Structure 1
Amino acid sequence: MRFAVSTLLLLASSCLAKTVTYDWNVTWVTANPDGLADRQVVGINGKWPLPVVEVDRGDRLVVNMYNGLGDKNTSIHWHGMYQNGTNYMDGPSMVTQCPVPPGASITYNFTVNQNGTYWYHCHTDSCYPDGYRQALIVHDTDSFFHDDYEEEFTITLSDWYHHMTEGLKEQFLSLYNPTGAEPIPDAFLFNDTMNSSLPVKPNTTYLLRLINTGAFVAQYFYIEGHSFKIVEVDGVYTEPTEADILYIAIAQRYSILLTTKNETDTNYAIVTVADSDLLDTIPETLQLNNTNWLEYNKAAPHNKAVIQAQTSDDLDPFDDFTLIPHDRMPLLPEPDVVVNLTVYMNNLINGFNYAFFNNITYTRPKVPSLFSVLSSGDLSTNPMVYGTNTNPFVFEHNDVVQVIINNGDTGSHPFHLHGHNFQVINRAPGYGPNFNSYLNGDPVPYDPSNHTAFPKTPIRRDTVVLPPQGYMVLRFVADNPGVWFFHCHIDWHLSSGLASVFIEAPTQMQERLTIPADHLEVCRLSGVPFEGNAAANTKDLLDLTGQNVQPGPLPSGFTARGIVALVFSCISAVLGMIAIFVYGMSDIKFKNQYGAAEADASQPMDELPAGVTATGAEVAPETIAEQPSKTS
């Protein structure tokens, strides 16, 4: 009987499901969201901000995208979508597809069998900071909190640059930026604007969907005079949990239930504070603290927030590690596979600062990794096929995978896994005042023989923050055959190589996946090979001759060019010191009214002739007595 009822419910939901279709012409448009600078941004159908994509759980989403940019490749990643059975629709260029060149079209077509708050963005050559990002909302009338709120708002937080990403990237990955300092944003936006209001009614509960769609900077979020309940993170429903301050890293999402006060005379500040710990410098013109408003009364004052914290370290946000998933999914069993990764930042022979997993900075292959899986036959389970510079890991179908990430860097990193969410079973330090506590000494790695107990029902999400010089441990089941990108979602760090590819169940991929014809046509138009190993070798899949590789390491000691530069620097320094010495010993002469003899200005001030200053200027005799005595 129970089986019959569940079958009827499944059939009923299938009948209600619909196809949601969008036709997008992606072009450049001009925008000025912070009111400070016009700039080109990526628009859709001539408009920006981009459209919020809204579907119901079970719907089929079809997006026909034409690249009308004229000078840039592009793609779309559907952030948080599992793409179970449709790995080729995931969107990252050179991982699951070829980049879409100007003048070409591609169709993304997949069924949305999940619920919650997501977003979409370009995943080709650091293009989404140029405005190609927006919310993707999957409505669910069966959510446990569906009847608890009257209305919902979608809120995007983002950092904003006045200059094109391409130029900023050239400055970032540069010989003149050896420390790897990330470009500093020019502003921080709230729903792609500033100084905006959310009109609310008193004594009413609202669902607020919060998404950080930025490229770099995490933000703190709170509402003056209000607390709220967390009910979702990254598409995973949670037990309702009270909080008053959230830390929302790049690509993370929260859904919160907010009940308004029973009054209409005051508007309350919605406060966002950029995490200044991520910034190497803070320009005087950069406004880190921003105010928008929960508007009870349009006619009432809209006062700026009173920020009590002196720095972001003074804020004490809710620790997402303590959340419990609403479905109470238990801790996964001991892993079949353990992946150990350590984050480093370092310079290579070209002088650029790169990001590394272990000793490898991700360097994209010549063939998209998914296409290498489908064209490599029995060798698809050999990681060598996917190149030595892509950080590839191959998992068997339904392996329990544990990923241990140690942070050898002094910055935090929000890591995102495509195609999955994962259990966060350990992380140190936790959010709050101690988040930067490991910076007081050497990095602290995870010790598998000495750690706190794993939670029995760990929180799951698809983007989690690795603390500075700390560690985290993630666990998931490899039950979704596909090639899944695992990377830091700070776009500057991805562009400098902080990524890996997880090749999951390659044998099942070959049985189940077929690349659509229009995706293959995109490869032909872009001139990207779609068969063979990472070096595009179709004859010997273990021969990687010609693959894309990272620049070589810095040699120990000085290079010949470095020694020459040092010698000439020393010569220049010595000559400069000699010049300063000779100039300093030279007499500075001046005339005085007491005779033809010239006095030496190096004598003490109190020994100069009366009426003469140290610069040789004459002072009227009647004012001499009024001058105070000075010593040098």
Structure 2
Amino acid sequence: MSPMTTVIIVVQCLIVFINHSWGQESVANAVCDEYMTACACPSLEEAQVCHFQLRVKQLLTFTRYQIDAPPGSQGKVYFINTTGQLQPVSPVPPTPTISCEEVNCTEANTVDGRTFRSFYAINGRIPGPTLIIHENQTVVADVENLLSDEGISIHWHGMHQRNTPWMDGIGFISQCPILPGASFRYIFKAYPPGTFWYHSHSGAQRTDGMYGGLIVLEASNTTQHDLGIDFEDLPERHTISFLDWQREESLDLFSKIHSKIRYFPPADGPVDVVPTSSSDFYFPTQAADGSGIGVLKYWSGLINGRGIHSSVPLNRSILSLFEVDKGKSYRFRLIGAQSVYAFNFSIDAHRLTVIATDGYFIKPVETDFLIIHTGERYDIIVTTNETEYNNFFIRAHTLELEFNTNEEPPYSQIPHEALAILHYSRDEPPSPLDYGTIVSHQKNCSEGSQCTAVNCPFQSFHPSYNIHCVNVYELKLLYPTPDYELPSSEADNELIFNFAFENPQRTSTINGRNFIFPSASLQTQTEEFDKEREKIACNLDDTCELGCHCLHVHEIPYKKTVRFVISTVGLSMSRRRFSHPVHLHGHSFHVVATGYGTYNQTTGRILSSSDDLVCSNGSTRSLCVKPQWNDEKVLNFTVDKWTVRKDTVIVPAGGYVVMQFISDNPGFWFLHCHIEPHQLEGMALVVDEAQAQQNPPPKGMRSCGNFTWTIAEFNQKLNFNPDEQESDRFAWWKIALLSVSGVAVLVMIVIATTCIYRRCRRKKMQSYNVLH
């Protein structure tokens, strides 16, 4: 065999090895056009990689646009007439008209049947299409920003992004925002399986429409047997998302509520009128425990992008419809995409069986109501066993109660709800003209017919409501947590964070601090951030009496049991006491315990916060900057393999939640309240997890602009081993040793080369002398 042949064979072997190791995998393109509410990947056996394309535009409701037309091109406006049909608005001459047949135009997103305003569309829709993928499939999502003047980012809510923290989709934390006209390629592993969602994490874009479902189908098909329920799982038909919709763009509303500028126009008045009376000032409504609910006025509610405003007749609305067959059980997946309001979900004449939350199966719980907060997901089983009727209202009520009507409970419910329809397929689907004939079967809870509600944001309803609460910490996992994912009961590292309105302006804070974003991404542009770190990073010893607006960061060590205690205790009671849905990126945590305040036994309203926690050692009269456990209390927390796991949890007003997890996923992770105005005001912080073990980002992410990379590059990053990374305090001697070793090797190579050269030259001279 010649030397050249040997070289060729070696090169070919290397190419085969690289292709095998770096991911020459089968790729499928999931078609996701403007008329598809869901886009599904083929099975993992057919395609290891699934590719989506998501295009973000700013559009108008009730308007159809030519597909693939340039941004800003003319659309055609429609309205819903008295027969529930879309009818085009007659153009005013000489305005040209466009042809909008179904094959070449987007849908006219009719939202609540009334509100004509702009929104953010993903592939021409609100919400964006539900993406259906398979456990451990590699997901490629090319996101194109077609907005004119705003950066965007897409967070894959619930995906742990292990070894790829810079794919988490948080502008200025995990990446530079995607600039207008730019595109960005997200690649991540679909894990864990379950019900998740994707949404913008830039400004308030999420609540203006930039979100969609993300379903990861389980690799195992044994769940039905283990649950003891035979059900059909059709996520393309039975995924439900909730949104509290507003008549104005979210940033306008945020400006009005920030720093107590809380003036809102009358429901039937224009939005641009200067307030002249204090009666226009808005105070939040309240829940059964007296805690605040709405930081802004409720306008309408949407289920899968459709609903009905209270001023719109049923026959002039278009509601989402979910079709089922009689005599079967179906898995429905619920996604809380709300801006502010929690929804109390129910289906007329049907009970619900809760089987999963935030991607983890639980032991089944039967219930009448399921309360879902923004950021949360729940999976339920609905059994279609009704015999007389074919259409039933799906309802999502806010938790608002009218306290002025009675001095004692039960207080009447404020009629704020979102509606959809469950339709039995044995009859034709109802048209808007038929909505008014659907018979109401709302659950009537009485002393003789008690109801159950899962996931209450307080300890319990007053007995007069006849509703029994099953709270999150009472839920148990269906499958035990593997030992390598199970934290110990004793925490190696504990941090206590108080979510409250405690600063001079009474705005949203954590430990008295309002979070502000850096000007460069922490995860990908660390060098640029280091230049401004001293100017904007929070001083954790500051009492914040004059206010602290800063980059709030807490470090946690690698591979330890970490305990976060999330409280809403504070130092003073006020009408602005809220419960908070808190989301942790990069992890699922065990809900170890929930603590509650003291309630008035007569009214059911909260009297005082839990005294398990105190504010001291640097805290002032009005600021709880260093919450601590009460030394007079003896509290023990235990975690076992059945303790429920979540990534978003509701923290009760005046109480706390204890969450524990293993810090085995190095990265900069966001921890925040998922109520959009609270986060925007600063109720957020960054968890700096094991910075020395973090995986460096791809080179192209270190600057802003277009970004793309390959599956091979992703697989190389995915195989990064954090355990091989040295800690910072040992890194210097390793670098020094490597440097010395490198120099020594270089010197040896030079010496060896010189010796060989001289020997060869000597032999050559000897040969020359012999010949001559």
Range into which the TM-score falls when normalised by the shorter chain: 0.7 to 0.9
1:104 Cα shift? 1.9
Name the CA distance, whole Å, in 2 between partners of 1:431 and 1:419: 34
Name the CA distance, whole Å, in 1 between partners of 2:584 and 2:592: 15
Q: Say which of 157, 165, 171 aligns to 2:256.
A: 171
1:278 Cα shift? 12
1:158 Cα shift? 1.4
Name the CA distance, whole Å, in 1 between partners of 2:536 and 2:243: 38
1:17 Cα shift? 4.6
Name the CA distance, whole Å, in 1 between partners of 2:597 and 2:397: 19
Q: Say which of 601, 606, 629 aligns to 1:439.
A: 606
Q: Say which of 145, 163, 168 aligns to 1:67.
A: 145
Instruction: Note if contact 1:74-1:100 (Cα within 8 Å) is conserved in structure 2.
Output: yes
Name the CA distance, whole Å, in 2 between partners of 1:87 and 1:360: 25
Residue in 2 that maps onto 1:361: 514
Name the CA distance, whole Å, in 2 between partners of 1:176 and 1:375: 35
- Which residue type is aligned with residue 399 of structure 1? K
Residue in 1 that maps onto 2:766: none
Residue in 2 that maps onto 1:245: 369
Residue in 1 that maps onto 2:584: 417
Q: Say which of 492, 497, 518 aligns to 2:677.
A: 492
More deviation, 139-148/303-312:
303-312
Instruction: Note if contact 2:666-2:691 (Cα within 8 Å) is conserved in structure 1.
Output: yes
The answer as to 2:649 corresponding to 1:464 is yes
- Which residue type is aligned with residue 192 of structure 2? Q
The answer as to 2:444 corresponding to 1:326 is no
- Which residue type is aligned with residue 689 of structure 2? E
Residue in 1 that maps onto 2:298: 185
- 2:704 is paired with a residue whose SS is helix
Residue in 2 that maps onto 1:232: 356
Instruction: Note if contact 2:598-2:608 (Cα within 8 Å) is conserved in structure 1.
Output: no
Residue in 1 that maps onto 2:344: 220
1:97 Cα shift? 1.2
1:361 Cα shift? 1.2
- Which residue type is aligned with residue 231 of structure 2? Y
Name the CA distance, whole Å, in 2 between partners of 1:117 and 1:64: 21
Alignment of 1:476-625 (within 5 A): 476-509=661-694, 512-518=695-701, 520-522=703-705
1:220 Cα shift? 0.9
Alignment of 1:73-472 (within 5 A): 73-146=151-224, 148-152=230-234, 153-174=238-259, 176-177=261-262, 182-194=295-307, 195-261=319-385, 263=387, 265-276=389-400, 287-296=415-424, 297-298=426-427, 301-306=437-442, 308=444, 314=465, 315-329=467-481, 332-348=488-504, 352-371=505-524, 387-388=538-539, 389-408=550-569, 410-429=577-596, 439-446=606-613, 447=629, 449-451=633-635, 454=638, 456=640, 457-472=642-657
- Which residue type is aligned with residue 301 of structure 2? F
Unaligned runs of 5+ in 1: 1-10, 525-632
- Which residue type is aligned with residue 467 of structure 1? P
Structure 2 length normalisation: TM-score? 0.60
1:180 Cα shift? 8.5
Show CA shifts across 1:409-428 (max 9, x none). Answer: 62100000001111111112
Name the CA distance, whole Å, in 2 between partners of 1:347 and 1:117: 37
Show CA shifts across 1:343-393 (max 9, x none). Answer: 220453xxx54111112111112332224657799x9xx999955422211
- Which residue type is aligned with residue 327 of structure 2? N
- Which residue type is aligned with residue 450 of structure 1? V
The answer as to 2:114 corresponding to 1:36 is yes
1:225 Cα shift? 2.8
Name the CA distance, whole Å, in 2 between partners of 1:223 and 1:114: 29
Unaligned runs of 5+ in 2: 1-24, 27-42, 62-109, 263-280, 285-294, 308-318, 405-411, 431-436, 447-452, 540-549, 571-576, 614-628, 708-772
More deviation, 436-445/80-89:
436-445
1:270 Cα shift? 2.3
Show CA shifts across 1:393-452 (max 9, x none). Answer: 111211111011221362100000001111111112399999x96721345444574347
Instruction: Note if contact 1:445-1:471 (Cα within 8 Å) is conserved in structure 2.
Output: no
- Which residue type is aligned with residue 704 of structure 2? E
Instruction: Note if contact 1:19-1:59 (Cα within 8 Å) is conserved in structure 2.
Output: yes
Instruction: Note if contact 2:598-2:606 (Cα within 8 Å) is conserved in structure 1.
Output: no
Name the CA distance, whole Å, in 1 between partners of 2:567 and 2:399: 22
Q: 1:48 to 1:279 in 2, by over 3 A?
A: farther
- 1:369 is paired with a residue whose SS is coil
Instruction: Note if contact 1:406-1:445 (Cα within 8 Å) is conserved in structure 2.
Output: no
CA RMSD after TM alignment: 3.7
Q: 1:79 to 1:383 in 2, by over 3 A?
A: farther
Name the CA distance, whole Å, in 2 between partners of 1:393 and 1:367: 18
Q: 1:371 to 1:141 in 2, by over 3 A?
A: closer
Q: 1:34 to 1:305 in 2, by over 3 A?
A: farther
Show CA shifts across 1:176-216 (max 9, x none). Answer: 34999522231011111124332211210100001111111
Show CA shifts across 1:318-342 (max 9, x none). Answer: 3222111122226633111100111
- Which residue type is aligned with residue 48 of structure 2? K
Name the CA distance, whole Å, in 1 between partners of 2:132 and 2:402: 32
Show CA shifts across 1:6-42 (max 9, x none). Answer: xxxxx99975552221222211112231001111111
Name the CA distance, whole Å, in 1 between partners of 2:509 and 2:158: 24
1:57 Cα shift? 0.9
- 1:500 is paired with a residue whose SS is strand
Instruction: Note if contact 2:395-2:417 (Cα within 8 Å) is conserved in structure 1.
Output: yes
Name the CA distance, whole Å, in 2 between partners of 1:19 and 1:279: 54
1:51 Cα shift? 1.1
- Which residue type is aligned with residue 440 of structure 2? K
Q: 1:431 to 1:230 in 2, by over 3 A?
A: farther
Name the CA distance, whole Å, in 2 between partners of 1:29 and 1:82: 32
Show CA shifts across 1:138-190 (max 9, x none). Answer: 11141532573224310111111111112111111145349995222310111
Show CA shifts across 1:234-283 (max 9, x none). Answer: 01121223222211111100111222206354433322211216999xxx
Name the CA distance, whole Å, in 1 between partners of 2:386 and 2:181: 55
1:307 Cα shift? 6.1
Name the CA distance, whole Å, in 2 between partners of 1:180 and 1:265: 41
Instruction: Note if contact 2:568-2:652 (Cα within 8 Å) is conserved in structure 1.
Output: yes
Name the CA distance, whole Å, in 2 between partners of 1:180 and 1:479: 43
Q: 1:306 to 1:243 in 2, by over 3 A?
A: closer
Name the CA distance, whole Å, in 2 between partners of 1:122 and 1:518: 18
Instruction: Give aligned-pair identity as a percent.
Output: 25
- 1:507 is paired with a residue whose SS is helix
- Which residue type is aligned with residue 294 of structure 1? L
Name the CA distance, whole Å, in 2 between partners of 1:188 and 1:225: 21
Residue in 2 that maps onto 1:571: none
Q: 1:321 to 1:48 in 2, by over 3 A?
A: same
- 1:522 is paired with a residue whose SS is coil
Name the CA distance, whole Å, in 1 between partners of 2:389 and 2:588: 43
Name the CA distance, whole Å, in 2 between partners of 1:493 and 1:318: 27
More deviation, 99-108/418-427:
99-108
- 1:521 is paired with a residue whose SS is coil
More deviation, 368-377/317-326:
368-377
Name the CA distance, whole Å, in 1 between partners of 2:611 and 2:392: 41
Name the CA distance, whole Å, in 2 between partners of 1:278 and 1:78: 37
- Which residue type is aligned with residue 519 of structure 2? K
1:484 Cα shift? 0.5
